[in-house]
Structure 1
Amino acid sequence: MGEHTVLVATEHEDATADLVIAELNQRRVPVLRFDPGRDFPKPAILTTQLGRDGWGGELTIGKRSADLASVRALYHRRPSSYAPSGDDQEARFTAEENRRGLGGVLAALPDCLYLSHPQAIARAEYKPAQLAAAAREDFNVPVTLITNDPAEAKSFAAQQPTIYKPLHAGAYEVSGEPAGIWAAPVGAGEINDTVSRCAHLFQARVPKTSDVRAIVVGERVFCARITAPPGVVDWRTEYRNLSYEPITCPQGIQRALHRFLAGFGLNFGAFDFALSADEAWWFLECNPNGQWAWLEHAARLPITAAIVDLLENGENTSD
């Protein structure tokens, strides 16, 4: 494999990454796909040495390799975590060494464009930090309470229509089947002492007419209006009954989106907004590594090309 490779770090089955890799291949851009958490230390081999200009050497996966000193971009999509291979002390030690070794080198590549930097993604995944940043950028942000006090939660829910949403969208199962924990309405009478078991996020419910997902790739912004059946709080529960249309992002919102991402050091963000009857945009959250592939087709938005432009050139291509 030649120099100036694009590294794509993601899980083995990732249809979204497949779209990007196919476009990179079409443009004849060298690309090496791997999953750091699963492919290292086998079949991946890392050999790197520190020089005056940073880390050099090779990352090899089977018969393919990349020159670490000349990687043009790292697309940090959705790689597996560096999980221990067992419950013993040695397995935990090994996993942490891999994370700090391979992960540390990948986070310190010289002259590499990150989409986005792994450490920046990790910082931006905290909803309290997101909401505080959104407030600083003068987004409309619903009144929000984070608490493990049932009495405080009851009092909050008694003051206005309220929703509950998880602070982390991790893997979850019900009776052995994959499930999601979605944003949902909650009344004061439904809140009990189980709130004391962990931190809970409660938010004033926005009287919305539709939602917007805004995908930001470098300097480019792509927005789609998502309309769900009446009364639906979280549109992700109604994928089969949604309609989509491209929507223009107001200039003020665009500028705030770029400032928000710059504050976290991100080159990508998938933002969710609620639109009220007066067309006000209400900030809900930003997923620093959110999904977009289905939206590209549904709303006819050229997101794949924008991502590949950035990975290939290290810069944006304007319309």
Structure 2
Amino acid sequence: MITHADGTRRLLLTTPIEASRLDDSLALAAHQLQHTITKAFEVRLVVVGHQMHAARIDAHSPASRADFRADYDALTYSYTEVPEAVRSGVRALMDHYHLVYAALDLLVDRAGCWWLVDLNPAGQHDWLQCELPRLTIATSLARTLAAGRTEPTPAAAHSCGTPA
């Protein structure tokens, strides 16, 4: 989020940058740059305890293909399964950071490789459940809170091998 001098705020979206535009001036301030991943689709994965709720997000405009937050009207949502190798890695990540809840953004490339973009321990989810009611994220949250779970419990087992 960027706050301008006049107090207005705007979201800082993913912006593709050509390598030729990168120069020594980058050393003057912090930046977050990453290689472009040509994605087939995105996945918002909401984890509550050991329950994983995955929503596939398909972008249908140039702006939403760069960052789905740029054009919500150009998105379609569907239920999706998460491969066991990815689920195992997510469980290990949640355990490592002692998290009970997180929203993760992942990209899936055309070869079917899953890429973690970020993990937000306070990430939004309700908009997904409005689009895909069978995700039952709110139910998982309610059950976790009703059970008094505030500390994570380690996953039973982890497979930290290289995804196929």
Please classify the TM superposition score into its range, dividing by the shorter chain length: 0.7 to 0.9
Q: TM-score, normalised by structure 1?
A: 0.43
**Would the aligned equivalents of 2:61 and 2:71 in 1 still touch at CA under 8 Å?**
no
Candidates 119, 142, 150, aligned match of 1:286: 119
Post-superposition CA distance 1:218-269 (Å, at most 9, x none): 0100000001125421111111211101111112211111110110111111
1:310 corresponds to? 144
* Corresponding residue of 1:136: none
Select which of 171, 177, 180 maps to 2:11. Answer: 180
Match of 2:88 in 1: 255
Matches within 5 A, 1:197-208: 197-208=28-39
2:20 is matched with 189
Distance 1:221 1:314 in 2: 19
* Gapped regions of structure 1 (runs ≥ 5): 1-169
Is residue 61–residue 74 contact of structure 2 (8 Å, CA) maintained in 1? Answer: no
Q: Against the structure 1 CA distance between its residues 181 and 268, is the aligned structure 2 distance closer, same or farther, given a 3 Å change threshold?
A: same
Percent pairwise identity? 26
Over the aligned positions, Cα root-mean-square deviation in angstroms equals: 1.8
Q: Pick the structure with greater CA Rg.
A: 1
SS in 2 for 1:289: coil
Counterpart code for 2:101? F
Is 1:266 the counterpart of 2:96? The answer is: no
Matched residue count = 146
SS in 2 for 1:279: coil
- Paired amino acid for 1:314: G
Measure how far apart 1:193 and its partner are.
5.2
AA matched with 2:132: A
- Counterpart AA for 1:235: F
2 CA distance for matches of 1:228 and 1:177? 28
Kept in 1, the 8 Å contact 2:2–2:12? The answer is no
1:196 CA displacement: 2.9
**Superposed counterparts of 1:119-134, under 5 Å:** none
Candidates 83, 100, 109, aligned match of 1:276: 109
Shift of residue 283 of structure 1? 1.0
Q: Distance in 1 between matches of 2:148 and 2:132?
A: 26
Which of 66, 71, 75 in structure 2 is aligned with 1:242?
Answer: 75
Q: Structure 2, unaligned stretches of length 5 or more?
A: 150-164
